[in-house]
């Protein structure tokens, strides 16, 4: 019988980041040679929050899918190459025409309660933890 329980969260937390940061295979791509949107990932006692900077898009431009433990955020937006009369571009780089970012979620998240909101150019995906994964307050044990 083991009385000590080792905290496994740092390993899960590291895995959460490693799978995204260092995997530039087809899980993280931009098919149009544009820059991938930057991402912040915050963890609290309640869960994780993914913030993705994607200005100039509408919430209808995003697709968020969960397949097993892989959360994929993608967007495909048709860019209008219409130029008004008298306008001429010498270089045109404004656009996140399409991208896909994938994240491996730890098994401590409650995937049935994931929510997303897009506001002021930032997509926020809230990923709550399961109740059993949340830290419990200290408990006093009575001595008899």
pLDDT at position 8 is 43
Listed by start position, the domains of the chain span 27-77+94-132
Task: Give the fold, CATH level 3, of 27-77+94-132.
Answer: Immunoglobulin-like (2.60.40)
**Residue numbers in the chain where pLDDT is lower than 70:** 1-35, 78-86, 88-96
Distance between CA 51 and CA 37 in Å, rounded?
A: 10
pLDDT at position 118 is 96
Report the run of H or E that residue 17 belongs to, with start and end: helix 9-21
pLDDT at position 139 is 87
Distance between CA 93 and CA 31 in Å, rounded?
A: 14
pLDDT at position 89 is 67
- Supply the Cα-derived Rg of the chain in whole angstroms: 20
């Amino acid at each position: 019988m083991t009385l000590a329980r080792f905290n496994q969260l740092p390993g899960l937390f590291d895995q959460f980041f490693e799978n995204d940061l260092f995997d530039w295979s087809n899980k993280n791509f931009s098919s149009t040679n544009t820059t991938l949107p930057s991402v912040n990932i915050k963890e609290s006692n309640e869960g994780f929050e993914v913030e993705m900077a994607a200005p100039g898009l509408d919430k209808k431009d995003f697709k968020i899918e969960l397949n097993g433990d892989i959360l994929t955020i993608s967007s495909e937006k048709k860019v209008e190459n219409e130029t008004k009369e008298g306008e001429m571009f010498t270089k045109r780089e404004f656009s996140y025409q399409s991208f896909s970012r994938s994240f491996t979620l730890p098994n401590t998240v409650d995937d049935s309660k994931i929510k997303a909101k897009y506001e002021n150019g930032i997509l926020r995906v809230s990923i709550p933890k399961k109740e059993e994964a949340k830290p419990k307050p200290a408990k006093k044990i009575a001595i008899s």
